[in-house]
Chains A and B, each alone.
Chain A
Amino acid sequence: MTDSSRSRVFANVRQACRGAGEDTIAQELEALGTAPTADLPAADIHTAFLANVLKNQGSVDCVANRSGAVKALADYLYRHFRSHRLVAGNDPHLAAMPWREAGVLPRFGSVEPGEPVALSYALLGVAEIGGIVTLTGKANPAANNLLSEHHIVLVESTRLVRDMEAAWECIERESAKTGRSRGVNFIAGPSSTADIEGKLVYGAHGPRNWHVILMGDVPANALEEAHALAGR
């Protein structure tokens, strides 16, 4: 059935199109230029990223290195759960973290029902949207982004890009090395809904809390300035 349907659909589409050659189409598309992107709230990309994460109702931490990241994770877990347990994907960057330094007890794999905290290592942070990018795979099971109550994401400051187009350039470079990933996830906030009388509620299906830890060289006043820009 779908072979004949396919033929019919394509016949109708061809009849309505102009039948231009591939080169002409490519040239015309290129001539359309690029789309404008959103203005950043700050000139410094780290500050802009942090401010936009906060505007998206995420929470943020800035740490200098991996030891700082583990300590920030331990603090977060203790503050919310009086525990040091979390689930992390099988990412070599996460495996190499000095977990013992802060007594954090990670389990590597996919989050199971009832496990409240998942940690992801982001391929990128995108300043324009205040969001992060993960690629599905063993290193970052999709369930970890979606099934936990708290989703924590570790982003290296060197992996910040300005906008979504720059993010896609990186994703394409990654795909050229390892093949196309099954899923590319841009995440910019906790799961939310306003389907009941337009009232915003977090934790519709996925995480109720979304926490981003920015690791590496970040200007000293970036976090403070980001809070001021976001008004929270």
Chain B
Amino acid sequence: MKQTSHTFLDNAHTALQDRDKAARRDFMALFTPLIRNAAMDDFGHFEELRQHVKEVRQHTLDNLDHYLTRFEREALHNGNHVHFATDADQLNSIVLDICQQHSARRIAKGKSMVTEETGLNDYLKRAGLRVMETDLGEYIIQQAGETPSHIVGPALHKSAAEIRELFLAKHDLGERELAETSDMVGEARKVLREHFLKAEVGVIGANALIAENGYSMLVTNEGNGDLCANLPNVLIVCTTIDRVVPRARDATAMLRLLVRSATGQPQTCYTSFYSGPRREQDSDGPLETHFVLLDNRRTEILASDYREMLQCIRCGACLNHCPIYAATGGHAYGWVYPGPMGSILTPLLTSLEQSNALPNACTSCGRCAEVCPADIPLPDLLRDLRHDENRQKLSSSRWRLGMRLHAWLARHPGLYHACTGIGIAALHLLGQRKGSFTQLPMASGWTSERDFPAPQGKTFMHQYAALQRADKAREDKSAAVAKPPRRRARPGSGKASGERQEPGLRADWPLKPDPRRPGKTRPGTAGGKGTGKGKPGAHPGGPRGKKPRSRQSDDR
């Protein structure tokens, strides 16, 4: 798949022009969080489950060498062939070799983002094989010559009318109406059933690999993946090394999170665990089964400060809750994985040079981190990528100069307050007549779309300090008249005197330097990445520095 992440802004601009698709995205952005929240509430202990699965996934990644070895051993014992692919080309070539060994011409393929990542379909097609996507959404976009716009609902960007036209053009089935959605589903079922029955090889993905027994877990609603896994004589499971979980019960725990986060269901219709080829007494099933386990830079991620990204369970919840994804859709991201998770995975799996626009496609609203069932601190990782972008000088020199100036100024709070005070006062004077600006230097990105409101003359800090001074003066006055002072108020507390106190703010906060901000850059900001090797869970060398990340951390 040709990557166009570097033109994200242009892609997004184009996507915003299509009002119909934008309206559909808006609807999905309202609807999908509702069903996810309802499923979460129904479950009852979602946060407890989320933390449990997070701990298990962290433990697995910390000991991936052990669990991957165990999985391989059990899978071989179950009668599988196990292959390792370091990159996309190797995975494609292994799959093609297997197909050619069996003189296969027809491949029935289940939904697999990993094979989207490697571009398997095109590779097999170039070798003369007929590959048919069997997940309805994937089938629709394959027929349309498009790529998925969402990792769970790949064709949700298309309207029913578009799909109807597509089916009428692609299926040579004579005159018909296809008026209802169920008619289109029925037609795809009929066309694909024939392909299932004739395919020599089935290719599927895996939602988890179970180390203790060598089973792979496949989660679908349509049952297409199961048809791929059961009808053809050869089955190839293409997945990545980070999908391993220790035990079957860890896979089921993860499943509870996955289905509720992805589709708001308590359980998918088909959750299947496959161990290997047909047994002697079996009447159906593949005669030969293969696992192709892809690395494709995941071991680099494992050794880096971005390790937490490997805990992603591919549910799509972060996409469904992201305002940028809702506005631009998945295609704007220009590669396989869109949304917040894609904005992190794409630079890590391809290169930051090609995709540095993606980590900037974030409002830092934090919704993705709130809903992520794997509890991945997505906004933190996006910010770290922006930091890497700056360090690697991938952003424009003007932007970097601005960042340096801002960083320097932020380290000198007195000067910062003085400069912002002057700036706000100047803008107030210049804009007070109209009340807003239609143009501002270096802010055309803002003013091209909307007016910039003229400031009211004082910065927040000025106003807050004035309020504090007035409070203190009132307090001193009341303390002086009170006889005898039974409860002397601490200066600035306001509690004993019954004065108003801003909730959650210490009175001395704006006036004294914060001891947690010693006026330096965070540790490790000048260091390179990757020095965390061998110390799972720590981020010693990366931009997130030496302090452990905390959800309450005030630098988020």
A residues with a Cβ closer than 8 A to B are 1-2, 5-6, 8-10, 12-20, 22, 25, 28-29, 32-39, 52, 55-56, 90, 109-110, 113, 129-131, 136-138, 141-143, 145-147, 164-165, 168, 171-172, 175, 179-199, 201, 203-207
Contact = CB atoms under 8 A, between A and B. Distances in A.
A142 B78 contact: no
21 contacts: A14-B65, A16-B533, A17-B65, A20-B66, A36-B48, A39-B44, A131-B267, A136-B284, A141-B282, A142-B230, A142-B284, A175-B213, A180-B275, A182-B285, A186-B271, A188-B268, A191-B270, A198-B156, A201-B182, A204-B222, A207-B223
Contacts of B63: 17-18, 20, 25
Interface in B176-217: 181-182, 184-186, 188-189, 192-193, 196-197, 213-215
Given A12-B299, A13-B65, A136 B285 contact: yes
A143 B293 CA distance: 27
A8 B248 CA distance: 28
B226 A32 contact: no
Contacts of B494: none
B90 A1 contact: yes
A191 B274 contact: no
B378 interface: no
B86 interface: yes
Nearest to A32: B55
A211 B273 CA distance: 22
A36 B211 CA distance: 21
Contacts of B90: 1-2, 5
Given A13-B299, A39-B43, A168-B248, A181 B275 contact: yes
B156 A203 contact: no
3 residue pairs, one from A and one from B, having the closest CB atoms:
A35-B253, A206-B223, A12-B299
B477 interface: no
A190 B282 contact: no
A121 to B, nearest CB: 15
B32 to A, nearest CB: 8
Nearest to B307: A16
Contacts of B64: 13, 16-17
Nearest to B188: A204
B153 A194 contact: yes
Contacts of A109: 283
Contacts of B231: 143
Given A35-B49, A182-B285, A197-B156, 13 more contacts: A2-B84, A16-B303, A18-B535, A25-B63, A29-B247, A136-B282, A182-B277, A184-B275, A185-B226, A186-B271, A190-B269, A192-B221, A204-B222
A113 B27 CA distance: 39
B65 A195 contact: no
Q: Most chain-A Cβ atoms within 10 A of its Cβ — which of B63, B229, B241, B275?
A: B63
Interface in B3-25: 24
Interface string B23-63: 01001100100000000001111001100110110010011
B272 interface: yes
A16 B153 CA distance: 34
A205 B156 contact: no
B155 interface: yes
B285 A164 contact: no
Contacts of B223: 145-146, 191, 204-207
Nearest to A57: B269
A198 B45 contact: no
A18 B24 contact: no
B395 interface: no
B43 A38 contact: yes
A142 B224 contact: no
A16 B86 contact: no
B471 interface: no
B506 interface: no
Contacts of B473: none
Interface string B283-315: 111000000010100011011000100000000
Contact of A34 (B78, B85, B249, B283): B249
B119 interface: no
A98 B541 CA distance: 72
B284 A143 contact: yes
B155 A195 contact: yes
